[in-house]
Structure 1
Amino acid sequence: MKVLLLENISGVAASQFEEAGFEVEALKEALDERELLAKVRGTSILGVRSRTRITAAVLDAAPELVSVGAFCIGVDKIDRAASSDRGIAVFNDPHSNSRSVAELAIGEIILLRRRTFEASTRLHGGVWNKSSAGSHEVRGLTLGIVGYGKIGSQVSDLAEALGMRVVFHDVAHVLARGNARPVSFRELLETSDVITLHVDGKAQNKNLFAEDQFRLMKDGACLINLSRGFVVDHEALARHLKSGKLAGAAIDVFPQEPESGGVFSSPLKGLPNVILTPHIGGSTEEAQENIGHFVSARMIDYFKTGNSLLSVNLPNCHLDTDPDHAPSQDTNGDSVPGSHRLTHIHRNVPGILRAINDILADRGINIDRQVLDTRGQLGYAIYDINRACDEELLEKLRSVPHTIRVRVPGECG
């Protein structure tokens, strides 16, 4: 059972996989499609971060692949539809780096309003300019948060503790934290001294902040984007920073991001009132360790038990392992009957369960326990049965129309 981890995923993940009995290969770099096609063969579990693209061709090159883990928040580099079509579970961690991102946002709010970055740049150039012009405390300022989820709400708590007034806008109906106040998008633009973006990667968020939005913002306001690069029109942002309409910006994500060590290009380069960082919002040792633990635990559980809780593409099913029904051995080493688990991923159409049950009944196999869930066009069932699964039974189950994948947990299948 081989695990391939790319992009310098925390060693916590490799340790957990090894303790669970997997053979682990961990690489520091991302791989392009050609390299990955050669490397992924024979892999049961594949782990990536935000730079490696997992295409249908990559999935086809690894017929033993059971799951793909994004050791980050975003899964936009993974072809989830192709993964579902092949019965491959995709996991991520949408929460473990939220504190790291929130803390960076707060730090940048203070740096921008105090113009600390500009003062540092001047001093590095040999210019001593001890001026308070344009430098402000954040206490009493209005912070506008666009996207009030796990990260946005934490920013809200921290900002309020600093004495800021907090307003927020979210397309979903979410409960306000503390004294934060929900407002319309337009009101947020017109009243905020600092706006910080924490939205997801949905296509409708492209150029959420462009020419029209910048015109509506308060004169002298600042913008922070730690969410997705395509959310902000950087050409328009650069114009409004150069004109003085906006006082500053902090940008961590970009429409096009180079490979590590590659050449970075942006219309924001060289602007003294802009803090640029290379997509490091969630890159703290604490966050990466937490992510390494969380995602690997989910993938190990899925591989060994079939439980798909928190998968981003499969129906979320969970069936507890019952020690009272587990196969065992007596004192002579002979097998004692117990429950044996199998899983069945299929198209969500009528008649699948009946066909499976008929196959089991024809062989005198009893179902001890089962669970089913659906998600869109997919159905997923976990069975505990009273006989071990032989290859003949598995092939019969695979022949059921609309079957995608049949697997005995603990095996690649």
Structure 2
Amino acid sequence: MAIENPSNALPDRTRSGSLSMPKPKQLRPFKTAEVKILLLENVNETAVKAFQKQGYQVETYTKALVGDELIQKIRDVHVIGIRSKTKLTKQVLDEAQNLLAIGCFCIGTNQVDLQTAAKKGIAVFNSPFSNSRSVAELVIGEMVTLARQLGDRNMEMHKGIWNKVSKNCYEIRGKVLGIVGYGHIGSQLSVLAEAMGMSVVFYDVLQIMPLGTAKQLETLEELLSMADFVSLHVPELEETKNMIGDREIKSMKKGAYLLNNARGTIVQVPALIQGLKSGHLGGAAVDVYPKEPASNGPHFTDYPELLDCPNLIMTPHIGGSTEEAQRMIGLEVSSALVRFINEGGSIGAVNFPEIDLRAIREDDTDVVRLLYIHQNIPGVLRSINEILADHNVEKQYSDSKGDIAYVMADISNVTQDHLQSLYEKITATPANIRTRILY
């Protein structure tokens, strides 16, 4: 079933006699039961229910899929939902013939080839803010755990060792927290840390208004030299890869603590191991790794030397893994995907022009919505407007992002014959990537 094909008959509709605001028109040229959704990596049940409410077919897996199994599954689905383990490379996306959108039910999107997706007219949505509180709370717990050496005492007790000590165990009150990256997570962490009696300094490449009494520093080196705890909250970019290495760790105060709940490529693991074993670092917490297993189980063997480091908290990328965060992520991403499928709105897409139009009223029986994804080259809008010249364009909105542009237009006085002709003319334009007509 090609969702793009507008060959179905226009639905019969009657005008409402109610004095209340007209209901939005259901913009669907397709049977919702034919829309196929593939959800991997145990995406939260809130998303599953949201898709099922629309009448879509929903297939779920608790694990990531790789290789031929992933390619086989993605070939005929219209939407795929993933978390951080599934890798949607160019090779995989080239096999996805019907794919309209990708939902990353997490913060990051580095597991998706965003450029390839955009060139194929596939919008990618994520949830950049929904797990901010969960990660911030985890960092607070890690700092207390490291300062009191709770991880080591816990392991000793499990081995039957009673080791009641206070040496090198501290309160976090009165200590300096240095936050690298003062975005949604970093700023929330700042507020929580100050409530615990800590002083907060932060470094960010952007000039940002501090919350509370936090102070922005001009250089990373200045932050490293004065912080008792250094917590990393930056995205994975070329300029952030390997940003914390041997030189940066040696620049930290002796006995300071390093926490990485951002991306695994930010900290050089050998330098971290050396800093812990030499005693220069008082401890560390690591939730992310340069290479992570695709599924749960006994697969984590790439960093055996970490296992012998003192006062080290190791967790399996669970910063956002709370019921509250996953529920909010499920709601946010599924809502964006449903809106894109049913109405064409792309607000929140990370690789795509973000545009939207208010819903067509239910009593506008002869109004259809044109969705035209195309190459961003000169003269395209002129060609489209010439094609639409025989119709009444009620609303039109267009925008571009890089090489991709997107046009939404609501057109009235459209008959079934007009629909097919309009679709054929639009798809025949040289710049066309993907065209859909919703009604």
TM-score (norm 2): 0.88
Correspondence for 1:73: 107
* CA 324–25 in structure 1, closer or farther in 2 if over 3 Å, else same: closer
Question: Displacement, 1:339?
Answer: 1.4
Does the 8 Å CA contact 1:7/1:49 hold for their aligned counterparts? yes
Higher-RCO chain (CA-CA 8 Å, sequence separation at least 6)? 2
What SS does structure 2 have at the residue aligned with 1:109?
helix
Distance 1:293 1:407 in 2: 25
Correspondence for 1:263: 299
Alpha-carbon RMSD: 1.3
Distance 2:348 2:435 in 1: 20
Question: Displacement, 1:148?
Answer: 0.4
Question: Displacement, 1:348?
Answer: 1.7
Does the 8 Å CA contact 2:276/2:310 hold for their aligned counterparts? no
Correspondence for 1:221: 256
What SS does structure 1 have at the residue aligned with 2:78?
strand
Does the 8 Å CA contact 1:325/1:339 hold for their aligned counterparts? no
1:341 aligns with 2:369: yes
Question: Displacement, 1:409?
Answer: 3.8
What SS does structure 2 have at the residue aligned with 1:302?
helix
Correspondence for 1:390: 419
Question: Displacement, 1:325?
Answer: 5.8
Distance 2:251 2:422 in 1: 65
> Which one of 286, 306, 316 corresponds to residue 344 of structure 2?
306
Does the 8 Å CA contact 2:277/2:310 hold for their aligned counterparts? no
Paired residues for 1:10-409 under 5 Å: 10-183=44-217, 184-259=219-294, 260-265=296-301, 266=303, 267-323=305-361, 326-327=364-365, 338-361=366-389, 364-386=390-412, 387=414, 390-409=419-438
Give per-residue Cα distances to partners, 1:58-106, cap 9 Å, x unaligned: 2232221110110001111111111111101100000111111110001
Distance 2:46 2:199 in 1: 39
Give per-residue Cα distances to partners, 1:334-370, cap 9 Å, x unaligned: xxxx310011111222211111111122xx2221111
Give per-residue Cα distances to partners, 1:196-222, cap 9 Å, x unaligned: 000001121111110110111000000
Distance 2:362 2:339 in 1: 19
Correspondence for 2:19: none
What SS does structure 2 have at the residue aligned with 1:145?
strand
What SS does structure 2 have at the residue aligned with 1:25?
strand
Distance 1:409 1:94 in 2: 29
Does the 8 Å CA contact 2:117/2:124 hold for their aligned counterparts? yes
Give per-residue Cα distances to partners, 1:6-58, cap 9 Å, x unaligned: 11000110100010121111111110031011112221111011111112232
Distance 2:424 2:37 in 1: 26
Q: Which amino acid aligns with 1:94?
A: P
Q: Which amino acid aligns with 1:340?
A: V
Does the 8 Å CA contact 1:307/1:318 hold for their aligned counterparts? yes
Question: Displacement, 1:326?
Answer: 2.6
Q: Which amino acid aligns with 1:243?
A: S
Question: Displacement, 1:324?
Answer: 6.4
Q: Which amino acid aligns with 2:280?
A: K
> Which one of 24, 34, 37 corresponds to residue 3 of structure 1?
37
Q: Which amino acid aligns with 2:388?
A: L
Q: Which amino acid aligns with 1:367?
A: V
Question: Displacement, 1:272?
Answer: 2.9
Does the 8 Å CA contact 1:33/1:53 hold for their aligned counterparts? no
Q: Which amino acid aligns with 1:49?
A: R
Does the 8 Å CA contact 1:156/1:166 hold for their aligned counterparts? yes
Does the 8 Å CA contact 2:245/2:267 hold for their aligned counterparts? yes
Q: Which amino acid aligns with 2:312?
A: V
Does the 8 Å CA contact 2:368/2:438 hold for their aligned counterparts? no
Correspondence for 1:334: none
Does the 8 Å CA contact 2:233/2:262 hold for their aligned counterparts? yes
User: Which segments of 5 or more consecutive residues in structure 1 lack a partner in the other structure?
Assistant: 328-337
Distance 2:313 2:241 in 1: 22
Distance 1:82 1:409 in 2: 25
Give per-residue Cα distances to partners, 1:226-252, cap 9 Å, x unaligned: 000010011111111111111100000
User: Which segments of 5 or more consecutive residues in structure 2 lack a partner in the other structure?
Assistant: 1-34
Q: Which amino acid aligns with 2:329?
A: I
Distance 1:344 1:98 in 2: 35
Does the 8 Å CA contact 2:127/2:333 hold for their aligned counterparts? yes
Does the 8 Å CA contact 2:125/2:348 hold for their aligned counterparts? yes
